[in-house]
Amino acid sequence: MVHKMIESSTVFEIEDQYGSGAYAKRPTAIVRGEGVYVWDMNGTRYLDATSGQGVAALGHCHPAVSHAISEQAQTLVTLHESFYNDRRAELLALLDSITPGDLSHFFLCNSGAEAIEGALKVAKLLTGRSGIVAAKRAFHGRTTGALSMTWTPKYRKPFQDWLPSVQHVAFNNIAAAREAIAEGTAAVMVESVQGEGGVHPAEIEYLQALRQHCDKTGAMLIIDEIQTGFGRTGKWFGFEHAGIVPDIVALAKAIGGGLPMGAVCWRAAHGQIARATHGSTFGGNPLACAAAIATITTIRDESLVERAEANGSWLLDELAALNLRGVRAIRGRGLMVGLELRGRVTPALKAMQECGVLALPAGLNTLRLLPPLIISRAELTKVISAIDEVLS
Ligand SMILES: *Cc1c(COP(=O)(O)O)cnc(C)c1O
């Protein structure tokens, strides 16, 4: 194999020398993936309970997605939205079929942060207002608009003087949200489960009360489903647990089966946005659309949303039954699970990797599991054993 020609230490050196420096990297060069597994350059196999940061809902190189990408790659890769396209039309109709209520307008883009930027612009265009209310501990991305909604001061502080002012209120606290929402509020934005902030699910009553208060005040309710969308929490979208329909939804991560893609979605009742108020060169390109169609139809046809619900609650029960000494609290919804540790998460992640399982942090103390939705109980058992070994 080609990978034998170059040592992983050489890969580390080159990336460290020429990379941006923005990332804390694990000293592992991953070169191949199949299903729930990835392999490093030495041929060591790991169970990927990160899904590549929540992206690979179908695992790595799912045949349906790989096939759709290679076929579309030989048909048409790029096409600006100033022309129509069969794949794009197919994807828009498919997205409409899986989103509840009249969530029927979609702006296609290329990442999560871009979906958040688009959601903010749509909220402003639909309301003519500019105030934004977001939640403490929120993570919405790192471009200037998205960063202003993100809570973690470490991410925001160096850029503070560039950012639009946003009011951050306590999460899961309806009184605090009501107090902050005023006449000039364009939108309230929350995640249906805060991911990066430590895996904190929004309480059902909280989402319902936010919906009611937004109806009363005319503010748009924006739900960030970038990490929670496409079955992760045991529903197609996390807000569905509360039986509400938001005004605007931000989508990304799992939508494109691994290709960069995002989308802003909003209710037909609000109408479309005016010509030329938004745009994107790569947005809605046929290659990403083909990958997204394959991803979404596979999730639907293989009942992976229901499977995430069943396996997620089983996983939570199994983890709770371990009575782990190193764990302060276990939280989650579907296959999005956080274990709040008594100590720092980094050594636990390292020890998990030594047991052959890749997991994610969520803040300094929470270990986050986002396994592919296709994961089997036998494979989940390997994750549980690694956790037991590391944290008991
Ligand atoms: C990952 C993430 C984002 C940002 O997405 P990028 O594609 O990295 O820009 C925004 N919101 C949530 C909830 C996320 O998990």
Q: State pLDDT tens for residues 247-264.
A: 999 999 999 999 999 999
Q: How far does the centroid of ligand 1 lie from the alpha carbon of residue 113, in Å? A: 6
Higher pLDDT, residue 296 or 163: 296
Given its phi and psi angles, is residue 167 left (phi above 0), alpha (psi -120 to 50 degrees) or beta? beta
pLDDT on residue 164: 85
Q: Where are the beta strands (DSSP E) in the chain?
A: 30-34, 37-40, 45-48, 103-109, 131-135, 167-169, 185-191, 193-194, 200-201, 220-224, 248-251, 262-267, 327-333, 336-341, 357-358, 360-362, 366-369
Cα 336 from Cα 321, distance rounded (Å): 18
Q: Where are the domains of the chain?
A: 64-301
From 226, 228, 280, mutation site for ligand 1 pocket: most ligand atoms within 8 A of C-beta: 226
Residue nearest to atom 6 of ligand 1 (CA): 112
Residue nearest to atom 10 of ligand 1 (CA): 140
- Percent of the chain whose predicted confidence (pLDDT) is above 90: 96
Is residue 165 a contact partner of residue 334, using CB atoms and an 8 Å limit?
no
pLDDT at 374 over 60: yes
The dihedral sign for the CA sequence 233, 235, 239, 243: negative
Is residue 286 a contact partner of residue 88, using CB atoms and an 8 Å limit?
yes
pLDDT classification of 245: cutoffs 50, 70, 90:
very high
pLDDT on residue 5: 72
pLDDT on residue 4: 58
Cα 205 from Cα 327, distance rounded (Å): 27
Q: Residue type at 392?
A: S
DSSP run (H or E) holding 160: none
Cα 335 from Cα 305, distance rounded (Å): 10
**Residue whose tokens read 């599991």:** 369
Nearest ligand 1 atom, CA 224 = 13
Cα 146 from Cα 114, distance rounded (Å): 8
Closest Cα partner for 333 from 245, 235, 266?
Answer: 235
Cα 6 from Cα 14, distance rounded (Å): 11
pLDDT at 6 over 90: no
Nearest ligand 1 atom, CA 194 = 13
Q: How far does the centroid of ligand 1 lie from the alpha carbon of residue 251, in Å? A: 9
Cα 336 from Cα 274, distance rounded (Å): 37
pLDDT at 73 over 90: yes
CA distances from 102 to 192, 270, 271 (A): 19, 10, 11
Q: State the average pLDDT for the chain.
A: 97
Q: How far does the centroid of ligand 1 lie from the alpha carbon of residue 142, in Å? A: 8
Nearest ligand 1 atom, CA 114 = 9
Given its phi and psi angles, is residue 140 left (phi above 0), alpha (psi -120 to 50 degrees) or beta? alpha
Cα 69 from Cα 246, distance rounded (Å): 32
pLDDT at 3 over 60: no
Cα 278 from Cα 126, distance rounded (Å): 13
Nearest ligand 1 atom, CA 253 = 7
Just give the CATH number of 64-301.
3.40.640.10
Q: State pLDDT tens for residues 28-66.
A: 999 999 999 999 999 999 999 999 999 999 999 999 999
Q: State pLDDT tens for residues 122-143.
A: 999 999 999 999 999 999 999 9
Q: How far does the centroid of ligand 1 lie from the alpha carbon of residue 50, in Å? A: 14
pLDDT at 213 over 60: yes
Closest Cα partner for 135 from 54, 242, 207?
Answer: 207
Closest Cα partner for 191 from 251, 129, 105?
Answer: 251
Nearest ligand 1 atom, CA 146 = 10
**Residue whose tokens read 């799912």:** 62
From 143, 253, 255, 280, mutation site for ligand 1 pocket: most ligand atoms within 8 A of C-beta: 253
Is residue 277 a contact partner of residue 107, using CB atoms and an 8 Å limit?
no
Residues with CB under 6 A from ligand 1: 111-113, 116, 139-141, 191, 195, 224, 226-227, 252-253
Q: Residue 378 corresponds to which tokens in the numbers above?
A: 């036998």
pLDDT on residue 173: 98
Long-range contacts of 272-279 (CB under 8 A, 24+ apart): 272/105, 273/107, 273/121, 273/122, 273/125, 273/126, 274/125, 277/121, 277/125, 278/107, 278/118, 278/121, 278/122, 279/81
Q: How far does the centroid of ligand 1 lie from the alpha carbon of residue 321, in Å? A: 32
Q: How far does the centroid of ligand 1 lie from the alpha carbon of residue 392, in Å? A: 32
Q: What single DSSP character describes residue 273?
A: P
Cα 107 from Cα 82, distance rounded (Å): 13
Q: How far does the centroid of ligand 1 lie from the alpha carbon of residue 53, in Å? A: 9
